[in-house]
Amino acid sequence: RLMPVECERLQGFPDGYTLVPYRGGMMKDGPRYKMLGNSMAVPVVRWIGERIAMVEALAASPPAAEGSA
């Protein structure tokens, strides 16, 4: 089983990102796994966003003139 810190790293979060105060102590591992399971991997979302921006930029640029090389 992966440790919460390993799951944070896989998701692209910094170490200890989900280790937050909860009811007078630090959050237990179970809810941390749940938070990480409900999140999206930051590097993947960034990659998708960059690709969308790239396609939008291509769609907004004027078409190339035919016959020019």
State the pLDDT confidence band at 61, using cuts at 50, 70 and 90: confident
For residue 58, give the H/E element and its range. Answer: helix 42-60
Q: Could you give the CA distance from residue 62 to residue 45 in angstroms, rounded to a whole number?
A: 28
Q: Is the pTM of this model over 0.85?
A: no
Tell me how far CA of residue 21 lies from CA of 16, 17, 26, 31, 56, in angstroms: 11, 11, 4, 12, 42
Q: What is the mean pLDDT of residues 29-54?
A: 95
